[in-house]
């Protein structure tokens, strides 16, 4: 098993300047990216009006976790105020204004923050890594719930078209979700071309429906005054947690803003939010509020009841398409996150398939896809409706947001030079909002809130087991390894028989002799003309330029130590990386080169640093790792595998 050894190195500005383009080219590219951002980045948050207003009012009037409050004018305006200010503070201020600045050479996301935080500290910090693992694990919980709740909430509009359609909602949702996951292997490129225009139509429709009803009661505009929201929380403390646990549904999907930074860039995401997304969401919520004030019975499904009867069926179809876009965004997000986790060494190697010849970011991970499908189908069957699933939604979302905010505080304080005081003054109020939303969702723990925690818990245990197990394995093998320089000196004094060609030995530690080299000398008693000790490093930057990709050191008569570096958004390609050496005078012919890999057979030790169950889990993860030949994209006909047995 040829492992990757992750190191933290390099220096990148936390906010890299954007490339300057000719005006006409810039305008075309900019507006294309903005349209794409509307489709992909805001697909999730754009479907929140389907259920956020309904669930918040039902939480207050139903008294799930507090004293029921009558459906009054004051209540509706207070709820609208909370929804609007959640969007303003959490999305506009925290994500759009602040966090989009915390990029790593243009890339965003919670694992990017881990890389930035570790660089700010100047070392690989275990607490920072564990926070990153927690954020990533919670994202998987979110990724399982988003497709289920989104598609269900859209199809539930069919019940308003005709009550007899109710029996088709569940099987219809399952059919759509299974089809969605089944086509992932074909790539998202063709589908993505429709995402922007389709979601733009969705936002325009939402804004139009809202405007149609705001005139029902102009007092809903008072909701922009934060006094109404705050005063309700103060005067009705018993209901406050139930209210906030549903208000947070309005900002689900905000993490996608930051995670998709590398795909669209900072400015297109900001412009899309300010000109299209926020106005459409605000108008729609205000319209729902005015409708509920004029017709309290409409609270059963205020979003779809905004539409006149003749528009209801087309709106259900459009909503279903919009939820598929939202689901697609979170599915591809899970692929990207997993790829980053593998490169950062917190998950074993997984098979990555590229679905586009031109866009490196369009990838497909079969195991992640089918695991997600199993989780989504299970959730749909277990909960059966979007209202039931709403209870399970918030914990994953705000758990991830709390982790993101904490990591951002570290980056702002150390990398940006803000210092603890300035960082605290700006970020502590935002962190308190996240913690308040998270704690209000914990009230719903037994109503389904345990689901994302269980999913996140499973992924966290897997990641922690992999990190801990690889560290123990590295330390154990290091004790019995032969220092590389000593071996070179021994071979110079007593040279073995030479054979033509180049031998490349992959290792995670360039200072010790690779096991495959020792076995080759022991059993074949030969040495190649050229011998390369190759280490593949994962850097804490998204991508590494070709001029910085390779480092070479000549050691002794026929040995070279070579380091190939890749960013956490890249997939290593060893032959292509070694081809760069030709420019540095090192002749490399793939057809005269043999790659020696050490495949380790791992057994649990009687005395281990982990419990037996964790030993067995680590061994299972190691066995499930994709083949190093495929992962490093080495031609299969040039590989020699040497087996060794180790205990962990």
Sequence-ordered list of residues with C-beta below 8 angstroms from that of 402, at least 6 positions apart, any chain? 431, 434, 435, 438
For residue 365, pLDDT over 70 is answered with: yes
Banded pLDDT at 500 (limits 50, 70, 90): confident
Banded pLDDT at 274 (limits 50, 70, 90): very high
- Contact (CB, 8 A) for 341 and 463: yes
Maximum mean pLDDT: which of 141-145, 175-179, 187-191, 598-602: 175-179
pLDDT at 275: 94
Q: 3-state SS of the chain: helix, strand, coil percent to 5?
A: 65, 10, 20
For residue 15, pLDDT over 50 is answered with: no
pLDDT at 82: 93
The β-bridge relationship of strands 550-555 and 559-566 is antiparallel
Rounded to whole angstroms, the Cα distance separating 413 from 422 reads 8
Residue ranges of domains in the chain, CATH in brackets:
30-468 (1.20.1740.10), 481-647 (no CATH)
For residue 12, pLDDT over 50 is answered with: no
Banded pLDDT at 242 (limits 50, 70, 90): confident
**What is the average pLDDT across 393-398?**
81
Name the 3-class secondary structure at 627: coil
pLDDT at 68: 64
Rounded to whole angstroms, the Cα distance separating 429 from 435 reads 10
Give 281-330 pLDDT, tens digit per residue.
999 999 999 999 998 888 888 999 999 988 888 998 898 888 888 787 78
Radius of gyration of the chain (CA): 27
Among candidate residues 297, 304, 392, the one with its CA nearest the CA of residue 61: 297
Residue with tokens 């890389």: 115
State what percent of residues in the chain have pLDDT above 70. Answer: 88
596: phi then psi, degrees, rounded to nearest 5: -105, 120
For residue 210, pLDDT over 80 is answered with: yes
pLDDT at 19: 36
For residue 17, pLDDT over 60 is answered with: no
Give 545-595 pLDDT, tens digit per residue.
888 888 888 887 788 898 988 887 677 888 888 888 877 777 777 777 888
Banded pLDDT at 429 (limits 50, 70, 90): very high
For residue 620, pLDDT over 80 is answered with: yes
- How far is Cα of residue 570 from the mean position of the Cα atoms in its chain? 15
Largest Cα span, the chain = 94
Banded pLDDT at 194 (limits 50, 70, 90): low
Strands in 158-239 per DSSP E = none
pLDDT at 184: 80
For residue 530, pLDDT over 90 is answered with: no
**What is the average pLDDT across 598-609?**
70
Maximum mean pLDDT: which of 121-125, 182-186, 429-433, 540-544: 429-433
The secondary structure of residue 156, as a DSSP letter, is T
Please give the mean pLDDT across all residues of the chain. 81
Name the 3-class secondary structure at 295: coil
pLDDT at 644: 64
Banded pLDDT at 360 (limits 50, 70, 90): low
pLDDT at 22: 39
pLDDT at 291: 93
For residue 354, pLDDT over 80 is answered with: no
- Four-CA torsion 188, 193, 198, 201, nearest 10 degrees: 150
For residue 2, pLDDT over 80 is answered with: no
Among candidate residues 546, 548, 545, 541, the one with its CA nearest the CA of residue 569: 541
**What is the average pLDDT across 463-474?**
86
Maximum mean pLDDT: which of 84-88, 262-266, 632-636: 84-88
Banded pLDDT at 356 (limits 50, 70, 90): low
The β-bridge relationship of strands 593-603 and 559-566 is unpaired
Rounded to whole angstroms, the Cα distance separating 134 from 410 reads 16
Banded pLDDT at 5 (limits 50, 70, 90): very low
Tokens of 16: 């890299």
- How far is Cα of residue 637 from the mean position of the Cα atoms in its chain? 35
What value, to the nearest 5°, has the Cα angle with vertex 623 and ends 135 and 522?
Answer: 125
- Contact (CB, 8 A) for 458 and 528: no
**What is the average pLDDT across 478-495?**
79
Banded pLDDT at 8 (limits 50, 70, 90): very low
Pick the more confident residue, 577 or 540: 577
Q: Which helix (H) or strand (E) holds 456?
A: helix 450-480
Q: Which helix (H) or strand (E) holds 528?
A: strand 526-538
For residue 502, pLDDT over 70 is answered with: yes
Rounded to whole angstroms, the Cα distance separating 571 from 593 reads 21
- Contact (CB, 8 A) for 233 and 240: yes
pLDDT at 225: 92
- Using a cut of 0.75, tell me whether the model's pTM lies above it: yes
């Amino acid at each position: 098993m040829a492992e990757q050894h992750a190191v933290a190195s390099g220096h990148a500005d936390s906010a890299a300047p954007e490339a300057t383009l000719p005006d006409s080219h810039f305008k075309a590219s900019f507006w294309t990216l903005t349209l794409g951002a509307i489709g992909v980045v805001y697909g999730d948050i754009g479907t929140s009006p389907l259920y956020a207003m309904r669930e918040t009012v039902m939480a207050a009037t139903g008294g799930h976790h507090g004293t029921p409050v009558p459906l009054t004018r004051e209540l509706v305006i207070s709820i609208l105020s909370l929804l609007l200010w959640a969007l303003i503070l959490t999305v506009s201020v925290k994500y759009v204004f602040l966090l989009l600045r915390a990029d790593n050479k243009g890339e965003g996301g919670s694992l990017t923050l881990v890389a930035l935080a570790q660089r700010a500290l100047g070392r690989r910090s275990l607490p920072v890594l564990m926070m990153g693992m927690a954020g990533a694990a919670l994202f998987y919980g979110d990724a399982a719930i988003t497709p289920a709740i989104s598609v269900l909430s859209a199809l539930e509009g069919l019940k308003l078209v005709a009550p007899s359609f109710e029996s088709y909602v569940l099987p219809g949702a399952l059919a759509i979700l299974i089809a969605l996951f089944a086509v992932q292997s074909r790539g998202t490129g063709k589908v993505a071309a429709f995402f922007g225009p389709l979601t733009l139509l969705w936002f325009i429709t939402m804004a139009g429906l809202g405007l149609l009803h705001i005139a029902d009661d102009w007092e809903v505009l008072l909701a922009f005054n934060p006094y109404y929201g705050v005063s309700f929380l103060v005067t009705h403390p018993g209901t406050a947690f139930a209210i906030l646990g549903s208000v947070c549904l309005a900002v689900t999907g905000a993490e996608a803003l930051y995670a998709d930074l590398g795909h669209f860039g900072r400015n297109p995401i900001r412009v899309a939010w300010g000109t299209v997304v926020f106005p459409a969401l605000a108008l729609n919520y205000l319209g729902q509020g005015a409708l509920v004030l004029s017709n309290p019975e409409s609270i059963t499904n205020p979003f779809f009841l905004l539409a006149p009867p003749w528009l209801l069926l087309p709106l259900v179809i459009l909503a279903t398409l919009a939820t598929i876009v939202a689901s697609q965004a979170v599915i591809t997000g899970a692929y990207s996150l997993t790829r980053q986790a593998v490169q950062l060494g917190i998950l074993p190697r997984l098979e990555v398939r590229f679905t586009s010849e031109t866009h490196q970011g369009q990838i497909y991970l079969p195991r992640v896809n089918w695991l997600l499908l199993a989780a989504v189908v299970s959730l749909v069957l277990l909960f059966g409706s979007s209202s039931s699933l709403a209870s399970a939604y918030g914990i994953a979302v705000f758990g991830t947001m709390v982790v993101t905010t904490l990591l951002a505080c570290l980056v702002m304080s150390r990398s940006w030079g803000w210092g603890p005081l300035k960082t605290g003054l700006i970020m502590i109020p935002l962190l308190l909002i996240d913690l308040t939303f998270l704690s209000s969702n914990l009230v719903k723990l037994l109503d389904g809130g345990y689901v994302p925690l269980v999913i996140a818990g499973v992924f966290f245990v897997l990641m922690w087991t992999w990190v801990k197990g690889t560290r123990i394995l590295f330390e154990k093998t290091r004790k019995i390894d032969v220092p590389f320089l000593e071996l070179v000196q021994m071979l110079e004094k007593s040279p073995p028989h030479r054979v033509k060609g180049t031998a490349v030995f992959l290792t995670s530690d360039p200072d010790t002799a690779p096991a495959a080299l020792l076995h080759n000398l022991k059993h074949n008693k030969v040495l190649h003309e050229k011998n390369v000790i190759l280490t593949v490093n994962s850097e804490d930057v998204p991508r590494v330029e070709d001029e910085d990709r390779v480092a070479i050191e000549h050691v002794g008569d026929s040995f070279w130590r070579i380091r190939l570096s890749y960013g956490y958004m890249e997939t290593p390609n060893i032959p292509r990386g070694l081809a760069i050496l030709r420019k540095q005078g090192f002749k490399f012919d793939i057809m005269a080169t043999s790659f020696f890999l050490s495949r380790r057979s791992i057994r649990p030790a009687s005395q281990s640093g982990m419990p037996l169950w964790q030993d067995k889990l680590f061994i299972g993860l190691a066995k499930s790792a994709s083949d190093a030949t495929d992962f490093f994209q080495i031609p299969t006909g040039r590989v020699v595998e040497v087996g060794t047995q180790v205990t962990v």
